[in-house]
Structure 1
Amino acid sequence: MLAAAFFKGMGLGGSLIVAIGSQNAYLLRQALKREFVLVCVAICVLCDVLLIGAGVAGMGELMTQAPSLLWLIKLAGAAFLGWYGWRAARSALQPGSMQAQANSGASERRTVVAAMLAFSLLNPHVYLDTVVLLGSIGGQQAGMGRWYFAAGAMLASLLWFTSLGFGARYLTPVFARPRAWQILDAVIALVMWSLAISLFL
């Protein structure tokens, strides 16, 4: 039942991707600022596609057999999440209104791309969700079913990140107020710190 495998992958992939995390929080912030949204969405989708494909192809099993590698990923991820949480907390204490105009400076583009890649690849939860969990379940599908499962999960990723990235503009009136940005940055800081702590619990 290839169709069943496809929808199973789409349902499970969607349920994991939609959960609030560092990647979603950063993409939402960039979308509200309207800075390099297409680039950020493309990075999120591409990383998910590669990781899901790698997991279904068997990388998930290799990762579960290398606990030292997982520990190093957790350590790097926790350090990055803690640092970005501190930045978000500092921003929450400095109110400012949203500027609905894109900045096209080369240095800013590089900064945003680097941060989006870091949130997509340095967060150990991403590997546990895509490579290990989706990979192990997808790998159990018979024959071509594993690739239909992977395609379903990849489509869920594409739909979610596209909706989040390009749908956030409808919240622009809300985030024209400085207080809304303070609340968002405070929530992002709490999410980052909570994820960093949860890596070692």
Structure 2
Amino acid sequence: MMEPFIHGFILAIGLILPLGVQNVFIFNQGALQPRYMNVLPVVITASLCDTFLILVSVLGVSLLILSSFWIKFILIWGGVSFLVYMGWTTWNSKPNNQRNSDVNRFSLKKQVLFAASVSLLNPHAIMDTVGVIGTSSLKYQGEEKIIFAVTCMMVSWIWFIGLSLIGRITGKIDKSGNFLLILNKLSALIMWAAAIYLVFSFINK
């Protein structure tokens, strides 16, 4: 029973480690929010979205969804629109001496919507999950498949909780707000780069 656990752990770590919009947003919110409780909606939303993607990948449902051109069209252009908008909002945030007021721009609803969008409106993230986790799960059956899937889900939850805590520690250390200001600019650039990548990948297919 250790094989599906180790296999799922390594695959999930490999997929979640690269710097991306989801990771940057969770880290950023951990650094900006005045209380850790305010970050939990983002962490829980991102973790639930990853859990959902892993589940449908293991069950093979996502392959059927992505076979539709119009579903992929809606996913891509919905994701592009949201990334451009949130990139603009993040770029114009000024955490230095205005921390609490700027945090309020990211309302609870906006935090949850954005955390969900960067997880579910990115067809490439879905294809990575399907191509790696979904395909790898085919070698397991019954209890072993459950262990493999649960391990992948567990990695996502632990990673997002840890990332938000590191962001919070960073925010407390950065009293001047200069680092968070730079982080906001970096976050916005990553969001816009992801949007451009989605557009070009759609055009070239």
TM-score range, shorter chain: 0.7 to 0.9
Matches for 1:7-46 after TM superposition, within 5 Å: 7-34=6-33, 36-46=38-48
Normalising by structure 1, what TM-score?
0.84
What is the deviation of 1:191? 0.7
Seq. identity, %: 29
In the alignment, is the contact (CA less than 8 A) between 2:27 and 2:166 conserved in 1? no
Give the match's secondary structure for 1:176: coil
What amino acid maps onto 2:62 in structure 1? Answer: G
Cα distance change of structure 1 residues 182 and 124 upon mapping to structure 2, 3 Å threshold: same
Distance in 1 of aligned mates of 2:124 and 2:69 = 14
Distance 1:163 1:144 in 2: 28
| Closer, same or farther: CA 108–6 of 1 in aligned 2, 3 Å | same
Q: Report the Cα distance in structure 2 between the residues aligned to 1:31 and 1:95, rounded to whole angstroms.
A: 13
> Is the CA contact 1:23–1:120 (under 8 Å) kept in the aligned structure 2?
yes
Deviations 1:69-126 (A, max 9, x none): 22321111112112212222233xx46247479x8x8x93233223322233223333
Q: Amino acid of the residue matched to residue 53 of structure 1?
A: L
What letter matches 2:10 in structure 1?
Answer: G
For the residues of structure 2 that align with 1:114 and 1:68, how far apart are their CA atoms?
Answer: 22
In the alignment of these two chains, the number of paired residues is 195
Query: Which structure 1 residue ranges, 5 or more long, are not aligned?
Result: none
Residue of structure 2 equivalent to 1:171:
170
Q: Is the 8 A contact 1:88 1:186 kept in 2?
A: yes
Deviations 1:11-44 (A, max 9, x none): 1111111222111111111111235112221111
Residue aligning to 1:96: 96
CA contact (8 A) 1:10 1:154 kept: no
Letter in 1 for 2:39: V
| Mapped pair 1:82 → 2:81 | no
The code of the aligned residue for 1:160 comes to W
CA distance in 2 between counterparts of 1:39 and 1:146 reads 29
Structure 1 position 133 matched with structure 2 position 132:
yes
Whether contact under 8 Å (2:53, 2:126) holds in the other structure is yes
The code of the aligned residue for 1:179 comes to: N
Q: Which residue of 2 aligns with 1:62?
A: 64
Distance 1:98 1:90 in 2: 12
User: Match of 2:121, as an amino acid?
Assistant: L
CA separation in 2, counterparts of 1:139 and 1:71? 28
Q: Which residue of 1 aligns with 2:114?
A: 115
* Counterparts in 2 of 1:172 and 1:181: CA distance versus 1, 3 Å: closer
2:197 corresponding residue in structure 1: 198
Name the residue aligned to 1:186: 185
Q: TM-score, normalised by structure 2?
A: 0.82
Partner of 2:144: 145
Deviation at 1:164, TM superposition (A): 0.8
Q: CA RMSD in A?
A: 2.5
